[in-house]
Amino acid sequence: MEEKIPGLIRHSWGKCMQCGTISEIEEYHGLDLTRNPEGKEKLLKGEFFQWSCPKCGMGMKMDTAWPCWYLDPEAKLGISLVPGIDSSEAEGELQIMNQNLEGLVQPDIKRRAAGNFYAMQEIVRAHDAGLDDRVVQLVKPLIIGQLQSQGEVVWNGFFQGVSTPDPEEEPVHAVLYASLDPDGIPAYGQPIYWYDIHLTDRKVVHSGVNEVLFQMCQQMLEQSGAQPDDGRFHLYDLNWAIRFHDRMQQR
């Protein structure tokens, strides 16, 4: 990033796990797109949070993260990255974040907390696609449950985008399909909502769901009486989605 914003860039040190080389890491703690319009592209490419060993070069990279914020005033989106934050035990941290926001709350701005940079990227992608990021989260347990039934051990999954397959082509086996057809014929030609599912052995499985399943999750959210955004920070992640599904099943 060419522009250096005083106070928003800090430096730390990284040690290469392969050769032991120690080098400086430049940490950007503020990604305000009004000041740095290229910040969004760098965030989505992972360039801010990927450290490359200067000795091993591109052959050895390490993902990292640090507390920082992302603000896109034009898109009315703000994200606070709090490494390791988990929705199952984040009530206190969110309360402090929102107390610090007092007097600055704008209901038309969506504010989110994220526990890692993959989640930060996911929120931006969902917003760009015009999707409710809560629905994006509710899809994950469906995909992960299928993989677990096949013996896979999953860490997490993150939304990547939407594509429309050619209805004349063979269905993609990695996708979960549901049908609107009374005869039970899957609607293969509908949009596919794609996710990268990260396994605990560091492998990544590219999977997704079709429009019918996505809309089922949308309807679940609506039936739950979920409130619209209020301009405060909220954290929606996989754990939140699992708890949501559990509550809906108990109704």
In this predicted structure, what is the pLDDT of residue 10?
A: 67
In this predicted structure, what is the pLDDT of residue 59?
A: 45
In this predicted structure, what is the pLDDT of residue 1?
A: 43
pLDDT at 195 over 80: yes
Gap between the Cα atoms of 63 and 119, Å rounded: 13
In this predicted structure, what is the pLDDT of residue 82?
A: 94
Per-residue pLDDT averaged across 155-166, rounded?
94
Gap between the Cα atoms of 101 and 99, Å rounded: 5
More confident residue, 5 or 241: 241
pLDDT at 7 over 50: no
Question: What are the residues whose beta carbons fall under 8 Å from the beta carbon of 225, sequence distance 6 or more?
Answer: none
Tokens of 55: 């000795």
pLDDT at 186 over 80: no
Amino acid in the structure at residue 82: V
pLDDT at 61 over 90: no
pLDDT at 55 over 90: no
Where along the chain do its domains lie? 9-128, 133-250
pLDDT level of residue 63 (50, 70, 90 thresholds): low
Question: What are the residues whose beta carbons fall under 8 Å from the beta carbon of 226, sequence distance 6 or more?
Answer: 134
In this predicted structure, what is the pLDDT of residue 57?
A: 64
pLDDT at 132 over 90: yes
pLDDT in tens, 81-126: 999 999 888 999 999 999 988 888 888 899 999 999 999 999 999 9
pLDDT in tens, 205-224: 999 999 999 999 999 999 99
Percent of the chain with pLDDT over 70: 86
